[in-house]
């Protein structure tokens, strides 16, 4: 199992890397928000620091807009990954990006149909966002569906509010947990 840090703070990213606690970063920001952060003159600095995937959200909703934005995101580093919503336009863009060997993370709800739809383009990751309503998820079912239908995407779960949710996701065989710096430091 891998751990991705949800953060746009260079300090948090550096600390997590120093302790060898993370395998990747999910900035949980789109490109325009990322540009507003104080990374100095080099926007690609965090991409150089992190040896694993660095995920940036697409803010555009049309397939062409997502494709245009993806070109900019890919220019930030060889480890950049474009996070795309599981919508018709998102799936269309993701299919084109995957055909061109550009890493994609499909962002979806924690439902069986969303897992299947998000996995269809064959992107690198499916990011399942836990609902804010405290509803418990059957992670085992979602992991089984991913395997049953031979989806090649790694399942990543984010949006944890309780340690028990993380334990359940790990026990179910989730490929990646994506957590905040605060939650990460609570794990050890």
**Span 115-164, pLDDT tens digits:** 999 999 999 999 998 877 555 678 889 999 999 999 999 999 999 988 99
Mean pLDDT of 93-116: 95
CB of 157 closer than 8 Å to CB of 125: no
For residue 135, what pLDDT is reported?
A: 59
Sorted by where each starts, the structural domains of the chain and their CATH numbers stand as 2-187 (3.20.20.70)
pLDDT in tens, 52-90: 999 999 999 999 999 999 999 999 999 999 999 999 999
Percent share of the chain, pLDDT over 90: 79
Contacts of the segment 84-89: beta carbons below 8 A, 24+ positions apart: 84/58, 84/123, 85/58, 85/61, 86/114, 86/117, 86/118, 87/61, 89/61, 89/62, 89/63
pLDDT band at 101, cuts 50/70/90? very high
Say how many C-beta atoms besides its own lie within 10 A of residue 188's C-beta.
Answer: 6
Sign of CA dihedral 91, 108, 185, 124: negative
Average pLDDT score over residue span 44-59:
94
- The pLDDT of residue 139: 84
pLDDT at 6: 97
For residue 26, which of 5, 48, 12 has the smallest C-alpha distance?
A: 5
Share the mean pLDDT of the chain. 92
| C-alpha span between 8 and 159 (Å, rounded) | 16
Distance of CA 32 to the CA centre of its chain: 18
Question: What is the spatial distance between Cα 25 and Cα 178, in angstroms, rounded to a whole number?
Answer: 8
pTM as predicted: 0.93
């Amino acid at each position: 199992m891998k751990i991705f840090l949800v953060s746009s703070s260079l300090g948090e990213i550096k600390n997590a890397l120093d302790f060898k606690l993370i395998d990747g970063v999910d900035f949980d920001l789109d490109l325009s928000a990322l540009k507003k952060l104080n990374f100095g003159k080099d926007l690609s600095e965090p991409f150089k620091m992190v040896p694993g995937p660095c995920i940036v959200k697409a803010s555009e909703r049309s397939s062409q807009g997502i494709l245009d934005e993806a070109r900019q995101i890919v220019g930030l580093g060889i480890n950049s990954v474009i996070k795309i919503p599981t919508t018709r336009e998102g799936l269309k863009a993701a299919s084109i990006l995957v055909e061109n060997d550009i890493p994609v993370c499909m962002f979806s709800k924690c439902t069986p149909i969303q897992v299947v739809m998000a996995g269809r383009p064959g992107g690198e990751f499916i990011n399942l966002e836990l609902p804010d309503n405290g509803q418990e998820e059957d992670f085992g079912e979602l992991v089984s569906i991913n395997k049953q239908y031979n989806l090649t995407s790694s399942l990543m779960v984010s949006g944890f509010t309780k340690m028990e949710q993380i334990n359940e996701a790990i026990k179910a065989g989730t490929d990646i947990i994506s957590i905040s710096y605060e939650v990460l430091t609570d794990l050890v």
